Amino acid sequence: MSTSGKSGYHHGDLRAALLSTAMEMLEAGEPFSLRAVARQAGVSPTAPYRHFKDRDALESALAVEGFRDLLADLGGGRSLPTSPSGLAEFAVAYVAFALRRPALYGVMFGKPCDDADDERVKAADALHELLAHALDQVFPDVDTSALATAGWGLAHGLACLHLDGKLQVTSSEEVADRVRSAFLAITSVGS
């Protein structure tokens, strides 16, 4: 249920309402500030400061939500992959997330991580942990830390190339095929 719009915020979890409103504004391409989010949510201009010290703190909270959503897209209740082609589907889901939610993706990865922000660090770590477990399943005798960096770099790079228009996005199926092919080309080298 949306907390923004004419009805405004009336009761319940103010932090969640502010995050929901900020996410809607972000994904609609609307510029937002704490004051704009407060206005859209129907609360006083100072209300957001009870939960976010500034816009950066609000963006960090949005990034946490983004990492959790991406983790859900990657995990999706399915079992860990047992083959390189299963791992390639992680890359496909990663790029699909970036293309489906480009503004949020930009907030998630557009600034250096602040190791002092526990929630953001924990959310990003959960994503890394899922990837590490998946890589251990598929490549038990390999340095999965280096492989995780390479796989993330490939998926992130492909996402950015698509978002920047360097690679054409003609259909989601074509993008998925491109990501799969690239990922499998890298993981099959030396096999």
Whether the Cβ atoms of residue 111 and residue 47 lie closer than 8 Å to each other? no
| Residues in Cβ contact with 41 at an 8 Å cutoff, skipping those fewer than 6 apart | 3, 4, 8, 9, 17, 18, 21, 47
The answer, yes or no, to whether residue 1 has pLDDT greater than 70, is no
Whether the Cβ atoms of residue 27 and residue 104 lie closer than 8 Å to each other? yes
What's the burial of 46, exposed, middle or buried (CB within 10 Å: 0-12/13-18/19+)? exposed
Quote the tokens at residue 21.
């409103």
Window from 12-16, 75-79, 148-152, 171-175 with minimum mean pLDDT: 75-79
pLDDT of 4 reads: 42
Q: Which domains does the chain have, with CATH numbers?
A: 14-50 (1.10.10), 55-187 (1.10.357.10)
Asked whether the whole model's pTM tops 0.75, one would answer yes
Q: Which phi and psi angles does 45 have, rounded to 5°?
A: -60, -20
